Amino acid sequence: MTRPGPQDPALRIPSRMNTNLLTKGGRETVSVHACKLMVWNIQEAGSSKTINILKEHIRLHMPSIVAIIKTHIYRTRAQTVCDKIGFGGNFRVEARGFQGGIWIFCKLEDVEVDIIHAHEHYVTMEIKQRRHLKWVCTVVYASPHVQMREILWAELQQFASQCTHLWLIAGDFNETINLKERNHGGPDMLTRCTRFKH
């Protein structure tokens, strides 16, 4: 895994990819070309209970790549937690205080991961597997602020127009594709849902 060092739409899966999606309690496990990717909005990576639950899911699902978002911890404490996860490769976008944070872990014996772009709200990586075409994955933790999300959507759309590989986007978008997923919402919310959906 390329490690530059710590730095301050809906899930779309191309139809020709071999995929399985399991969703339970905010965790998604996606199998792509026999590669399992687990993405979890963990919300508090520092507690022993959370680490044990994460390690148990890793044991059960055997992902080659794990991405955890909204970690709430950073720097020395973050590295201590990363060491406990036990993957050979890891990369972090540090949380800012108790906000954000995106951590990527990979099994170096299964995949080769190169970070294409690291940003406060997303990490895009190129993934290479033995006997398979390389593909691209973007892990997102979108800002709770609408204006920041609009900038993110524009950046992702720009990348989509240039990307020539299979591309998977997963994470917490802090947005929904319809009003049924919300307890309330008016015309402005409907406009946001429609924009996110497309």
Domain extents in the chain: 21-197
pTM of the complete model = 0.76
Residue range 119-147, pLDDT digits in tens = 999 999 999 987 778 899 999 999 888 88
User: Of 84-98, 107-121, 168-182, which range is least confident?
Assistant: 168-182
- To which residue do tokens 């290479």 refer? 128
Q: What is the pLDDT of residues 14-43, one digit of tens each?
A: 333 333 333 344 555 544 456 889 999 888
The CATH fold assigned to 21-197 is Deoxyribonuclease I; Chain A (3.60.10)
Which tens digits make up the pLDDT trace of 53-69?
999 999 999 999 999 99
